[in-house]
Amino acid sequence: MEMPEPDARVLGNRDAILKALAEALPADGLITDPHQTLAYECDALTAYRCPPLAVILPATTEEVSQALKICHQLGVKVVPRGAGTSLAGGSLATADSVIIGTSRLRDTIEVNYPDRYIRVQTGVTNLSVTQSVENDGFFYAPDPSSQLACAIAGNIAMNSGGAHCLKYGVTTNNLLGVTLVLADGEVVELGGAHMDAPGLDMLALICGSEGQLGIVTEATLRILPKPEGARPVLIGFDDAETAGECVAQIIKSGVLPVAIEYMDRLCIQVVEDFTAVGYPLCEALLIVEVEGSEAEIAVQIERIEKIALALDPREFRVSQSLEQSELIWKGRKSAFGAMGRLNDYLCLDGTVPVSALPLTLRRIGELAQEHQMEVANVFHAGDGNMHPLILYNANLEGDFERAEQLGAAILKLCVEVGGCLTGEHGVGIEKRDLMYEQFSPDDLEAMMQVKDVFDPDWMLNPAKVFPLNASAARRSLIATQGAAK
């Protein structure tokens, strides 16, 4: 993966930069020991590593602002980092950058049940938001598979979704307002405590911007009353295409499940070996969950059963208890971890129209055979958010590069069938050089002009999202101006 050459001026000024940071920030919020900064050399895309110049761990918005002011004055690039669970290299540092992490921004600021929102610092984990309100009958809807560890900061940066986004939407549908610190340290408030905040929708620019426009330190999130009841159904099929057709027909019928998840045979077997949750061993398994009153659940399951039985499933099993439901979801939530026991893998997240699922699944199988690699599929089928896991051996020279080549072919396929490169993991560095597959040079120029407004010196999250040749002129001009200073 190509990265820009580090700024020699910054590297040569390392001691002065660290001294300025140490004088302005609390000692427990700054890591400069090279041995300790190694802990931040990568995120969940571990194939790429680079330790930062330093790591800043602020505990308040004011400390974030102060750190950014100093970095701005000294011309030091900044990489925002949440919990480091990015699967796209979204928080990979460069040798001439500092990381500003959110791990000490862990306070719950306000809970408002009448108006159905919670305000938190963005270092809190996704799951902890729901845990804060569940005893009062509420929950936070977005639920990425990494919800136990991932931070709200990263969820906002990548516009994360999860299994239940089919009904409740992704982060942008549940984000009401943010406190944003700009590249020069200025603090701004966007949105508010309600969905109808006045003015231009600047909040929409921030959600999914991957740390390119600023650092979000506080967020106001929508919370919802827990449903009266929920019930998952397991539907097993003898081939992937029929399972994909079942998903398309359920969506077409007008039934709106809370979630529709997909797992293939390889993933089912590995998950069963790991969790023993009782999944049927079939070629393709759907987990379809509906919610509401008992009567509403019964009607929805009846309609889903009619659709499924017409496609001759191997198994149709309705959960009969809360314990069974918890086991079904335990297996799905454990899938990525379980697959890690089998081999290293590259996890993609291209998204396709639901109607294109049968074709896409067939073509992924064909591409895997062409590249002579093994692919496991486990993904959010209800909104077409694919998660092919390309298995490879990190100790075998060239194997990761082969996985990347197959991954690029799969992502190009997603675009060809009317989808997009990323559904929730973000572009990061993983998909940066594929952006031309989906966007024209004019499209990318328009996006870069937005970054120019928020981050005119291009100091935030360097070498991510935009292909290096697209941003080269800007980076060269800024480097020249910096040297002149």
Q: pLDDT tens digit string along 320-355? A: 999 999 999 999 999 999 999 989 999 999 999 999
pLDDT given for residue 482 in this prediction:
62
Residue 484 has pLDDT above 60, yes or no: no
| Mean local confidence (pLDDT), 404-411 | 98
- Average pLDDT over all residues of the chain: 95
| Mean local confidence (pLDDT), 192-200 | 80
| Mean local confidence (pLDDT), 414-441 | 97
| Mean local confidence (pLDDT), 113-134 | 98
pLDDT given for residue 200 in this prediction:
86
Alpha carbon of residue 153 to chain centroid:
11
Give pTM, 2 decimals. Answer: 0.95
Q: pLDDT tens digit string along 247-281? A: 999 999 999 999 999 999 999 999 999 999 999 99
| Mean local confidence (pLDDT), 405-425 | 97
pLDDT given for residue 481 in this prediction:
67
Which tokens is 397 given?
């020279």
Residue 478 has pLDDT above 80, yes or no: no
Between 45-59, 376-390, 469-483, the lowest mean confidence (pLDDT) is in 469-483
Residue in 222, 224, 21, 221 with CA at minimum distance from that of residue 121 = 221
pLDDT given for residue 46 in this prediction:
93
Vertex 191, ends 174 and 200: CA angle to 5°? 115
- Give percent of the chain above pLDDT 70: 99
* 284 vs 194, higher pLDDT: 284
pLDDT given for residue 198 in this prediction:
77
Q: pLDDT tens digit string along 202-247? A: 999 999 999 999 999 999 999 999 999 999 999 999 999 999 999 9
| Residue at 52: amino acid letter | P
Residue 199 has pLDDT above 90, yes or no: no
Cβ contacts of 418 within 8 Å, gap of 6 or more: 352, 353, 356
Q: pLDDT tens digit string along 291-304? A: 999 999 999 999 99
pLDDT given for residue 1 in this prediction:
81
Per-residue confidence band for 473, with pLDDT thresholds at 50, 70 and 90: confident
- Give percent of the chain above pLDDT 90: 93
pLDDT given for residue 483 in this prediction:
60
| Mean local confidence (pLDDT), 280-294 | 97
CA–CA distances in Å: residue 324 to residues 73, 230, 233, 298: 57, 12, 10, 17
Per-residue confidence band for 128, with pLDDT thresholds at 50, 70 and 90: very high
Per-residue confidence band for 195, with pLDDT thresholds at 50, 70 and 90: confident
Residue 155 has pLDDT above 90, yes or no: yes
